[in-house]
Structure 1
Protein backbone atom coordinates (compact mmCIF):
# COMPACT_ATOMS: atom_id res chain seq x y z
CA UNK A 1 0.00 0.00 0.00
CA UNK A 2 1.42 3.35 -1.07
CA UNK A 3 0.61 6.32 1.17
CA UNK A 4 0.73 9.68 -0.59
CA UNK A 5 0.65 12.90 1.44
CA UNK A 6 0.15 16.31 -0.17
CA UNK A 7 1.89 18.24 2.60
CA UNK A 8 2.03 21.85 3.81
CA UNK A 9 -0.76 22.48 1.32
CA UNK A 10 -1.82 26.08 0.88
CA UNK A 11 -5.41 25.23 1.69
CA UNK A 12 -7.12 27.38 4.32
CA UNK A 13 -10.10 29.59 5.03
CA UNK A 14 -9.58 33.36 4.88
CA UNK A 15 -7.48 34.20 7.99
CA UNK A 16 -8.88 36.55 10.64
CA UNK A 17 -6.25 39.16 9.78
CA UNK A 18 -7.81 39.81 6.37
CA UNK A 19 -11.50 38.83 6.68
CA UNK A 20 -12.44 42.52 6.58
CA UNK A 21 -10.36 43.22 3.47
CA UNK A 22 -12.54 44.40 0.53
CA UNK A 23 -11.25 41.57 -1.70
CA UNK A 24 -12.49 38.99 0.82
CA UNK A 25 -15.70 40.79 1.78
CA UNK A 26 -16.82 41.38 -1.81
CA UNK A 27 -15.95 37.82 -2.86
CA UNK A 28 -17.90 36.39 0.08
CA UNK A 29 -20.88 38.64 -0.66
CA UNK A 30 -21.03 37.45 -4.28
CA UNK A 31 -21.16 33.87 -3.03
CA UNK A 32 -23.64 34.56 -0.21
CA UNK A 33 -21.15 33.43 2.43
CA UNK A 34 -19.55 34.94 5.51
CA UNK A 35 -16.00 36.25 4.86
CA UNK A 36 -14.55 33.83 7.43
CA UNK A 37 -16.18 30.87 5.64
CA UNK A 38 -14.60 31.30 2.19
CA UNK A 39 -11.50 29.47 0.99
CA UNK A 40 -8.46 31.67 0.51
CA UNK A 41 -7.69 31.87 -3.21
CA UNK A 42 -4.88 33.92 -4.72
CA UNK A 43 -6.83 34.33 -7.97
CA UNK A 44 -9.44 36.45 -6.21
CA UNK A 45 -7.66 37.61 -3.06
CA UNK A 46 -4.18 38.60 -4.28
CA UNK A 47 -4.46 42.15 -2.91
CA UNK A 48 -5.42 40.82 0.55
CA UNK A 49 -2.58 38.27 0.49
CA UNK A 50 -0.06 41.11 0.55
CA UNK A 51 -0.96 41.62 4.21
CA UNK A 52 -0.16 38.03 5.17
CA UNK A 53 3.10 36.38 6.11
CA UNK A 54 4.10 34.08 3.22
CA UNK A 55 1.36 35.76 1.19
CA UNK A 56 3.18 35.06 -2.06
CA UNK A 57 2.64 31.31 -1.66
CA UNK A 58 -0.74 31.14 0.07
CA UNK A 59 -4.23 30.66 -1.31
CA UNK A 60 -3.53 27.79 -3.73
CA UNK A 61 -6.35 25.24 -3.39
CA UNK A 62 -5.97 24.55 -7.12
CA UNK A 63 -2.78 22.58 -6.42
CA UNK A 64 -4.63 20.22 -4.08
CA UNK A 65 -7.52 19.97 -6.54
CA UNK A 66 -5.40 18.78 -9.47
CA UNK A 67 -3.28 16.45 -7.32
CA UNK A 68 -6.39 14.77 -5.89
CA UNK A 69 -8.04 14.39 -9.29
CA UNK A 70 -4.94 12.65 -10.63
CA UNK A 71 -4.38 10.44 -7.58
CA UNK A 72 -7.95 9.33 -6.92
CA UNK A 73 -8.62 8.54 -10.58
CA UNK A 74 -5.45 6.46 -10.87
CA UNK A 75 -5.41 2.73 -11.49
CA UNK A 76 -3.48 2.22 -8.23
CA UNK A 77 -6.32 3.82 -6.27
CA UNK A 78 -9.00 1.85 -8.12
CA UNK A 79 -7.06 -1.35 -7.35
CA UNK A 80 -6.82 -0.55 -3.63
CA UNK A 81 -3.07 0.08 -3.66
CA UNK A 82 -3.13 3.78 -2.71
CA UNK A 83 -4.15 5.99 0.21
CA UNK A 84 -4.12 9.76 -0.19
CA UNK A 85 -3.99 12.42 2.53
CA UNK A 86 -3.84 16.22 2.49
CA UNK A 87 -1.93 18.06 5.20
CA UNK A 88 -2.40 21.85 5.40
CA UNK A 89 -0.15 24.72 6.41
CA UNK A 90 -2.20 25.05 9.64
CA UNK A 91 -1.67 21.40 10.63
CA UNK A 92 -4.96 19.93 9.61
CA UNK A 93 -5.09 16.52 7.95
CA UNK A 94 -7.77 15.50 5.46
CA UNK A 95 -8.42 11.75 5.32
CA UNK A 96 -9.84 10.70 1.97
CA UNK A 97 -11.66 7.42 1.32
CA UNK A 98 -10.47 5.74 -1.89
CA UNK A 99 -13.97 5.72 -3.39
CA UNK A 100 -14.23 9.53 -3.15
CA UNK A 101 -14.97 11.30 -6.43
CA UNK A 102 -13.50 14.79 -6.28
CA UNK A 103 -15.53 17.33 -8.33
CA UNK A 104 -13.81 18.07 -11.62
CA UNK A 105 -15.24 21.57 -11.60
CA UNK A 106 -12.96 23.83 -9.56
CA UNK A 107 -15.75 25.98 -8.11
CA UNK A 108 -17.56 22.88 -6.86
CA UNK A 109 -14.30 21.67 -5.32
CA UNK A 110 -13.90 24.99 -3.48
CA UNK A 111 -17.43 24.65 -2.10
CA UNK A 112 -16.67 21.11 -0.97
CA UNK A 113 -13.54 22.24 0.89
CA UNK A 114 -15.41 25.10 2.55
CA UNK A 115 -18.02 22.63 3.81
CA UNK A 116 -15.25 20.36 5.09
CA UNK A 117 -13.59 23.19 7.04
CA UNK A 118 -16.96 24.14 8.50
CA UNK A 119 -18.32 20.70 9.36
CA UNK A 120 -15.24 18.50 9.74
CA UNK A 121 -16.71 15.80 7.48
CA UNK A 122 -18.42 15.64 4.07
CA UNK A 123 -20.91 14.37 3.34
CA UNK A 124 -22.53 13.66 6.69
CA UNK A 125 -23.00 9.95 7.20
CA UNK A 126 -20.62 8.75 4.50
CA UNK A 127 -17.65 10.83 5.67
CA UNK A 128 -15.79 10.46 2.38
CA UNK A 129 -13.62 13.37 3.55
CA UNK A 130 -12.72 13.89 7.19
CA UNK A 131 -10.58 16.63 8.70
CA UNK A 132 -8.62 16.48 11.97
CA UNK A 133 -6.16 18.80 13.63
CA UNK A 134 -2.87 16.95 13.24
CA UNK A 135 0.72 17.71 12.31
CA UNK A 136 2.52 15.98 9.48
CA UNK A 137 4.79 14.23 11.99
CA UNK A 138 1.75 12.92 13.89
CA UNK A 139 0.22 11.62 10.66
CA UNK A 140 3.42 9.78 9.75
CA UNK A 141 3.60 8.27 13.24
CA UNK A 142 0.00 7.13 12.87
CA UNK A 143 0.55 5.46 9.48
CA UNK A 144 3.78 3.78 10.62
CA UNK A 145 5.32 3.40 7.13
CA UNK A 146 8.35 1.23 6.50
CA UNK A 147 9.92 4.00 4.42
CA UNK A 148 9.43 7.77 4.16
CA UNK A 149 10.41 9.73 1.05
CA UNK A 150 10.20 13.47 0.48
CA UNK A 151 10.03 14.82 -3.05
CA UNK A 152 12.44 17.74 -3.06
CA UNK A 153 14.28 19.65 -5.77
CA UNK A 154 17.51 19.27 -3.78
CA UNK A 155 17.04 15.57 -3.14
CA UNK A 156 18.97 12.59 -4.45
CA UNK A 157 18.50 12.31 -8.20
CA UNK A 158 16.53 9.19 -9.15
CA UNK A 159 14.68 8.16 -12.29
CA UNK A 160 10.93 7.82 -11.72
CA UNK A 161 10.88 4.17 -12.80
CA UNK A 162 13.71 3.36 -10.42
CA UNK A 163 11.83 5.08 -7.60
CA UNK A 164 8.70 3.11 -8.46
CA UNK A 165 10.69 -0.08 -8.02
CA UNK A 166 11.93 1.08 -4.60
CA UNK A 167 8.34 1.80 -3.49
CA UNK A 168 7.10 -1.53 -4.80
CA UNK A 169 9.74 -3.32 -2.71
CA UNK A 170 8.26 -1.97 0.53
CA UNK A 171 5.09 -3.02 2.34
CA UNK A 172 3.84 0.43 3.31
CA UNK A 173 5.93 3.29 1.86
CA UNK A 174 4.94 6.92 2.38
CA UNK A 175 5.76 9.69 -0.08
CA UNK A 176 5.44 13.39 0.71
CA UNK A 177 4.77 15.91 -2.07
CA UNK A 178 4.60 19.64 -1.38
CA UNK A 179 1.18 21.22 -1.88
CA UNK A 180 2.58 24.73 -2.34
CA UNK A 181 3.70 26.68 -5.44
CA UNK A 182 7.33 27.41 -4.49
CA UNK A 183 9.75 27.59 -1.58
CA UNK A 184 10.44 24.83 0.92
CA UNK A 185 8.43 22.73 3.34
CA UNK A 186 7.35 24.45 6.56
CA UNK A 187 7.17 21.12 8.38
CA UNK A 188 10.14 19.09 9.56
CA UNK A 189 9.94 15.78 7.72
CA UNK A 190 12.01 12.72 8.56
CA UNK A 191 12.77 10.88 5.36
CA UNK A 192 14.97 10.52 2.32
CA UNK A 193 14.79 13.40 -0.15
CA UNK A 194 14.26 12.40 -3.78
CA UNK A 195 14.39 14.45 -6.97
CA UNK A 196 13.12 13.37 -10.40
CA UNK A 197 14.45 16.25 -12.47
CA UNK A 198 17.10 18.96 -12.63
CA UNK A 199 14.47 21.71 -12.37
CA UNK A 200 11.40 22.14 -10.12
CA UNK A 201 8.26 20.30 -11.24
CA UNK A 202 4.60 21.02 -10.58
CA UNK A 203 3.19 19.03 -7.65
CA UNK A 204 0.65 17.22 -9.84
CA UNK A 205 3.40 16.21 -12.29
CA UNK A 206 5.35 14.65 -9.43
CA UNK A 207 2.20 12.89 -8.17
CA UNK A 208 1.60 11.43 -11.63
CA UNK A 209 5.18 10.19 -11.97
CA UNK A 210 5.12 8.57 -8.53
CA UNK A 211 1.84 6.72 -9.07
CA UNK A 212 2.42 5.62 -12.66
CA UNK A 213 5.87 4.23 -11.90
CA UNK A 214 4.61 2.53 -8.72
CA UNK A 215 1.86 0.92 -10.80
CA UNK A 216 4.45 -0.34 -13.28
CA UNK A 217 5.88 -2.66 -10.62
CA UNK A 218 2.83 -3.67 -8.57
CA UNK A 219 -0.01 -4.12 -11.08
Structure 2
Protein backbone atom coordinates (compact mmCIF):
# COMPACT_ATOMS: atom_id res chain seq x y z
CA UNK A 1 0.00 0.00 0.00
CA UNK A 2 1.39 3.37 -1.07
CA UNK A 3 0.57 6.26 1.26
CA UNK A 4 0.74 9.74 -0.30
CA UNK A 5 0.68 12.77 1.99
CA UNK A 6 0.11 16.28 0.66
CA UNK A 7 1.96 18.06 3.44
CA UNK A 8 1.78 21.63 4.73
CA UNK A 9 -0.97 22.26 2.21
CA UNK A 10 -2.00 25.89 1.90
CA UNK A 11 -5.61 25.07 2.71
CA UNK A 12 -7.22 27.08 5.51
CA UNK A 13 -10.16 29.23 6.46
CA UNK A 14 -9.64 32.98 6.25
CA UNK A 15 -7.49 33.86 9.31
CA UNK A 16 -9.00 35.97 12.07
CA UNK A 17 -6.49 38.78 11.55
CA UNK A 18 -7.88 39.63 8.08
CA UNK A 19 -11.60 38.86 8.52
CA UNK A 20 -12.40 42.57 8.29
CA UNK A 21 -10.37 43.13 5.12
CA UNK A 22 -12.57 44.33 2.22
CA UNK A 23 -11.38 41.49 -0.05
CA UNK A 24 -12.57 38.92 2.50
CA UNK A 25 -15.75 40.73 3.53
CA UNK A 26 -16.91 41.38 -0.05
CA UNK A 27 -16.15 37.87 -1.27
CA UNK A 28 -17.99 36.33 1.67
CA UNK A 29 -20.98 38.60 1.07
CA UNK A 30 -21.15 37.62 -2.62
CA UNK A 31 -21.22 33.96 -1.58
CA UNK A 32 -23.77 34.43 1.17
CA UNK A 33 -21.35 33.35 3.90
CA UNK A 34 -19.73 34.91 6.95
CA UNK A 35 -16.06 35.92 6.50
CA UNK A 36 -14.89 33.27 8.99
CA UNK A 37 -16.61 30.53 6.94
CA UNK A 38 -14.74 30.95 3.65
CA UNK A 39 -11.58 29.27 2.45
CA UNK A 40 -8.61 31.58 1.93
CA UNK A 41 -7.99 31.86 -1.81
CA UNK A 42 -5.22 33.88 -3.44
CA UNK A 43 -7.35 34.36 -6.56
CA UNK A 44 -9.89 36.47 -4.63
CA UNK A 45 -7.97 37.57 -1.54
CA UNK A 46 -4.65 38.68 -3.01
CA UNK A 47 -4.66 42.10 -1.36
CA UNK A 48 -5.55 40.62 2.04
CA UNK A 49 -2.75 38.04 1.78
CA UNK A 50 -0.21 40.87 1.78
CA UNK A 51 -1.02 41.39 5.46
CA UNK A 52 -0.24 37.78 6.40
CA UNK A 53 3.04 36.08 7.24
CA UNK A 54 3.99 33.84 4.27
CA UNK A 55 1.23 35.58 2.35
CA UNK A 56 2.97 34.94 -0.97
CA UNK A 57 2.40 31.18 -0.64
CA UNK A 58 -0.92 30.97 1.21
CA UNK A 59 -4.45 30.61 -0.10
CA UNK A 60 -3.84 27.80 -2.60
CA UNK A 61 -6.69 25.27 -2.31
CA UNK A 62 -6.34 24.70 -6.05
CA UNK A 63 -3.16 22.68 -5.44
CA UNK A 64 -5.02 20.26 -3.18
CA UNK A 65 -7.92 20.11 -5.65
CA UNK A 66 -5.78 19.09 -8.63
CA UNK A 67 -3.71 16.64 -6.58
CA UNK A 68 -6.78 14.87 -5.22
CA UNK A 69 -8.50 14.69 -8.61
CA UNK A 70 -5.45 13.00 -10.10
CA UNK A 71 -4.75 10.67 -7.19
CA UNK A 72 -8.29 9.47 -6.55
CA UNK A 73 -8.95 8.80 -10.24
CA UNK A 74 -5.72 6.82 -10.63
CA UNK A 75 -5.55 3.11 -11.39
CA UNK A 76 -3.61 2.58 -8.14
CA UNK A 77 -6.50 4.02 -6.14
CA UNK A 78 -9.14 2.05 -8.06
CA UNK A 79 -7.13 -1.12 -7.40
CA UNK A 80 -6.96 -0.44 -3.66
CA UNK A 81 -3.22 0.21 -3.64
CA UNK A 82 -3.25 3.87 -2.59
CA UNK A 83 -4.19 6.02 0.39
CA UNK A 84 -4.09 9.81 0.20
CA UNK A 85 -4.01 12.30 3.08
CA UNK A 86 -3.89 16.09 3.28
CA UNK A 87 -1.92 17.76 6.06
CA UNK A 88 -2.50 21.52 6.33
CA UNK A 89 -0.21 24.34 7.44
CA UNK A 90 -2.25 24.55 10.67
CA UNK A 91 -1.73 20.88 11.57
CA UNK A 92 -5.04 19.45 10.48
CA UNK A 93 -5.14 16.11 8.70
CA UNK A 94 -7.82 15.19 6.18
CA UNK A 95 -8.46 11.46 5.83
CA UNK A 96 -9.91 10.52 2.45
CA UNK A 97 -11.69 7.26 1.70
CA UNK A 98 -10.59 5.72 -1.62
CA UNK A 99 -14.14 5.73 -3.01
CA UNK A 100 -14.46 9.51 -2.58
CA UNK A 101 -15.36 11.42 -5.73
CA UNK A 102 -13.90 14.92 -5.49
CA UNK A 103 -15.97 17.57 -7.36
CA UNK A 104 -14.34 18.42 -10.66
CA UNK A 105 -15.70 21.94 -10.46
CA UNK A 106 -13.31 24.08 -8.40
CA UNK A 107 -16.00 26.22 -6.75
CA UNK A 108 -17.87 23.12 -5.63
CA UNK A 109 -14.62 21.72 -4.23
CA UNK A 110 -14.05 24.91 -2.21
CA UNK A 111 -17.58 24.65 -0.86
CA UNK A 112 -16.90 21.04 0.14
CA UNK A 113 -13.74 22.07 1.99
CA UNK A 114 -15.62 24.85 3.81
CA UNK A 115 -18.20 22.30 4.93
CA UNK A 116 -15.40 19.97 6.07
CA UNK A 117 -13.76 22.69 8.17
CA UNK A 118 -17.10 23.48 9.77
CA UNK A 119 -18.41 19.94 10.36
CA UNK A 120 -15.15 17.94 10.52
CA UNK A 121 -16.68 15.21 8.35
CA UNK A 122 -18.59 15.15 5.03
CA UNK A 123 -21.06 13.76 4.47
CA UNK A 124 -21.86 13.15 8.14
CA UNK A 125 -23.27 9.66 7.61
CA UNK A 126 -20.45 8.35 5.39
CA UNK A 127 -17.42 10.43 6.47
CA UNK A 128 -15.81 10.17 3.03
CA UNK A 129 -13.69 13.09 4.19
CA UNK A 130 -12.76 13.43 7.85
CA UNK A 131 -10.60 16.08 9.52
CA UNK A 132 -8.63 15.79 12.76
CA UNK A 133 -6.24 18.08 14.60
CA UNK A 134 -2.95 16.27 14.03
CA UNK A 135 0.66 17.07 13.15
CA UNK A 136 2.48 15.51 10.22
CA UNK A 137 4.72 13.55 12.58
CA UNK A 138 1.67 12.16 14.39
CA UNK A 139 0.16 11.10 11.07
CA UNK A 140 3.35 9.33 10.01
CA UNK A 141 3.57 7.56 13.36
CA UNK A 142 -0.04 6.47 12.94
CA UNK A 143 0.59 5.04 9.46
CA UNK A 144 3.74 3.31 10.78
CA UNK A 145 5.45 3.01 7.39
CA UNK A 146 8.40 0.84 6.46
CA UNK A 147 10.09 3.84 4.86
CA UNK A 148 9.41 7.57 4.39
CA UNK A 149 10.38 9.59 1.32
CA UNK A 150 10.18 13.37 0.97
CA UNK A 151 9.94 14.88 -2.49
CA UNK A 152 12.38 17.77 -2.53
CA UNK A 153 14.20 19.71 -5.25
CA UNK A 154 17.46 19.24 -3.33
CA UNK A 155 16.89 15.51 -2.86
CA UNK A 156 18.81 12.60 -4.37
CA UNK A 157 18.35 12.70 -8.16
CA UNK A 158 16.24 9.68 -9.07
CA UNK A 159 14.57 8.64 -12.31
CA UNK A 160 10.79 8.37 -11.87
CA UNK A 161 10.82 4.76 -13.11
CA UNK A 162 13.49 3.81 -10.60
CA UNK A 163 11.59 5.48 -7.79
CA UNK A 164 8.41 3.67 -8.79
CA UNK A 165 10.24 0.37 -8.66
CA UNK A 166 11.60 1.21 -5.20
CA UNK A 167 8.13 2.07 -3.90
CA UNK A 168 6.64 -1.11 -5.34
CA UNK A 169 9.28 -3.18 -3.55
CA UNK A 170 8.36 -1.75 -0.11
CA UNK A 171 5.29 -3.08 1.65
CA UNK A 172 4.15 0.15 3.31
CA UNK A 173 5.94 3.28 2.02
CA UNK A 174 4.96 6.89 2.71
CA UNK A 175 5.74 9.64 0.20
CA UNK A 176 5.43 13.28 1.29
CA UNK A 177 4.71 15.94 -1.33
CA UNK A 178 4.60 19.64 -0.45
CA UNK A 179 1.16 21.19 -0.92
CA UNK A 180 2.46 24.73 -1.41
CA UNK A 181 3.33 26.67 -4.60
CA UNK A 182 7.02 27.40 -3.92
CA UNK A 183 9.68 27.50 -1.23
CA UNK A 184 10.54 24.80 1.29
CA UNK A 185 8.78 22.96 4.07
CA UNK A 186 8.26 25.21 7.09
CA UNK A 187 9.36 22.53 9.54
CA UNK A 188 11.86 19.70 9.51
CA UNK A 189 10.43 16.73 7.64
CA UNK A 190 11.98 13.36 8.41
CA UNK A 191 12.59 10.99 5.51
CA UNK A 192 14.86 10.34 2.56
CA UNK A 193 14.79 13.30 0.17
CA UNK A 194 14.14 12.45 -3.48
CA UNK A 195 14.19 14.64 -6.59
CA UNK A 196 12.60 13.41 -9.82
CA UNK A 197 13.76 16.23 -12.08
CA UNK A 198 16.48 18.85 -12.41
CA UNK A 199 14.00 21.72 -11.95
CA UNK A 200 11.13 22.32 -9.49
CA UNK A 201 7.83 20.64 -10.38
CA UNK A 202 4.30 21.43 -9.27
CA UNK A 203 2.86 19.13 -6.61
CA UNK A 204 0.33 17.50 -8.94
CA UNK A 205 3.04 16.70 -11.49
CA UNK A 206 5.15 15.05 -8.82
CA UNK A 207 2.17 13.03 -7.61
CA UNK A 208 1.33 11.90 -11.14
CA UNK A 209 4.91 10.72 -11.74
CA UNK A 210 4.95 8.85 -8.44
CA UNK A 211 1.62 7.10 -8.96
CA UNK A 212 2.11 6.16 -12.62
CA UNK A 213 5.60 4.76 -12.07
CA UNK A 214 4.47 2.93 -8.93
CA UNK A 215 1.64 1.34 -10.94
CA UNK A 216 4.11 0.21 -13.59
CA UNK A 217 6.06 -1.94 -11.13
CA UNK A 218 3.23 -3.35 -9.03
CA UNK A 219 2.78 -7.08 -9.82
TM range, normalised to the smaller chain?
Answer: over 0.9
Within 5 A, what are the aligned runs for 1:4-23? 4-23=4-23
Partner of 1:168: 168
Distance 1:159 1:75 in 2: 21
Deviation digits for residues 146-182 of structure 1 (CA, Å, limit 9, x no counterpart) = 0100000000000000000000110000000000000
5 Å-filtered alignment, 1:20-99, equals 20-99=20-99
Map of 2:141 onto structure 1: 141
Q: Which runs of 4+ in 1 moved over 4 A?
A: none
CA deviation after TM superposition for structure 1 residue 189, in Å? 1.4
The answer to whether 1:217 aligns with 2:217 is yes
- Once the two structures are TM-superposed, the CA of residue 187 in structure 1 deviates from its matched residue by 2.8
Q: Is the 8 A contact 1:9 1:178 kept in 2?
A: yes
Where does residue 154 of structure 1 map in the other structure?
154
Q: What does residue 193 of structure 2 align with? A: 193
Match of 1:131, SS state, is strand
Equivalent-residue separation in structure 2 for 1:105 and 1:186 (angstroms) = 30
Contact map agreement 1:10 1:58 (CA 8 A) in 2: yes
Provide TM-score, normalisation by structure 1: 0.99
Give, in angstroms, the shift of residue 190 of structure 1.
1.0
Residue 101 of structure 1 aligns with which residue?
A: 101
Shift of residue 186, structure 1, vs aligned partner: 1.4
Paired with 1:196 and 1:174, the residues of 2 have a C-alpha distance of 16
- TM-score, L = length of structure 2: 0.99
Structure 1 gap ranges (5+): none
Unpaired segments of 5 or more residues in structure 2? Answer: none
Separation in structure 2 between the aligned mates of residue 187 and residue 100 of structure 1, nearest angstrom: 30
Total equivalences in the alignment? 219
Q: CA deviation at 1:108?
A: 0.1
1:8–1:187: 8 Å Cα contact kept in structure 2? no
Partner of 2:208: 208
* 1:118-149 deviation digits (Å, cap 9, x = unpaired): 00000011000000000000000000000100
SS in 1 for 2:204: helix
